[in-house]
Amino acid sequence: MGRKTFESLGRVLPNRKHVVITKNKDFEIQNSNVEIVTDIKEIEKYINQETENFVIGGATIYKMLMPYASKMYITKIYEEFDGDVFFPEINEDEWSIVEREKGVKNEQNPFDYEYITYVRK
């Protein structure tokens, strides 16, 4: 994830390794589950591994790493929102939908939404 996304989380999430990308060589987090990467080449070791590694944004990181992704787990909310950062355009010629599940609406989730899984063609 990008440094801004990491900061927007406000904490280190439990039970998973975080790889945070920043250009700031002084950026430090004292937590053994957080690796700070200042050169994008350092994430090459996480590409094409047996285990799944997830790119969780934000916009700049999605755009930069999209060419390396083989699968996307998208939650599509059928509502319009204001925003200033955006997920890259999905080129439907490059991706196939392999799973599609309607989300459950409730008090916390009042809009229509779907979980859509894409794999690269």
Ligand X SMILES: NC(=O)c1ccc[n+]([C@@H]2O[C@H](COP(=O)([O-])OP(=O)(O)OC[C@H]3O[C@@H](n4cnc5c(N)ncnc54)[C@H](OP(=O)(O)O)[C@@H]3O)[C@@H](O)[C@H]2O)c1
Site for ligand X, residues 77 to 106, rule: CB under 6 A: 85
Binding flag, residue 11, ligand X (CB under 6 A): no
Say whether residue 19 binds ligand X (CB under 6 A).
no
Q: Does 25 bind ligand X (CB under 6 A)?
A: no
Rounded distance, CA 106 to CA 111, Å?
A: 8
The nearest distance, CB 3 to ligand X, in angstroms, is 4
* CA atoms in the 13 A half-sphere facing the CB of 42: 10
Site membership for ligand X, residue 23 (CB under 6 A): yes
What is the rounded (10 degree) CA torsion for 100, 104, 110, 115?
-20
Quote the tokens at residue 10: 């406000």
Q: Which of 4, 74, 103, 117 binds ligand X (CB under 6 A)?
A: 4
Q: Is 3 in the site for ligand X (CB under 6 A)?
A: yes
The binding site for ligand X (CB under 6 A) comprises 1-5, 8, 21-24, 38, 40, 56-61, 85
